[in-house]
Amino acid sequence: MLIDKIRTADGMSLLKRLPPDYLENLKDRIPHHLYKILADVITVLLTRIKVPPHEIAEVTDRLYKRRFQEMFALIEEYDVQETRRLAREEGVKQGIEQARIVIAKKMLQRNKPIEEIMEDTGLTRKEIEKLRQ
């Protein structure tokens, strides 16, 4: 099956090399009861690479409407490695923010001046005041 050959993000380029009528003929060969399974598999895969739910819905909608060329065109746009990089960056940012908050709380418990907490953590006065509550 074609999916077995797509093992990396670069593998998605295989879809572009399919004969023009391949996808058109494919929709006639897939039994209707398999569309739900295919939609579920696609949903899981796209969810795992953090594709927004509304975009997943667009892809699966095209599957149900048997508009395979459009569906694959949407999927080709996803860069798994870029998605992972962005997710890691976001995770690091969240971790740093959490660490700054933990440090500020500990400094507040030791009655350190707000100016010192601001300097050491980079938090604003307002953010530190919220931590006191």
Residue 29 confidence (pLDDT): 80
Give pLDDT tens digits for 12-21: 556 666 676 7
> pLDDT at position 123, please?
93
Report field, pTM of the whole predicted structure over 0.85 = no
Count CB neighbours of 72 within 10 A: 18
Distances (CA, A) of 18 to 10, 14, 15: 15, 7, 6
Q: Which residues of the chain have pLDDT under 70?
A: 1-18, 20, 23, 69, 72, 75-81
Q: How far is the C-alpha of 3 from the C-alpha of 95, rounded, in Å? A: 36
Q: What's the chain's average pLDDT?
A: 80
Give all strands (DSSP E) within 1-133, no chain letters: none
pLDDT given at position 91? 87
How far is 45 from 25, CA to CA, in rounded Å? 24
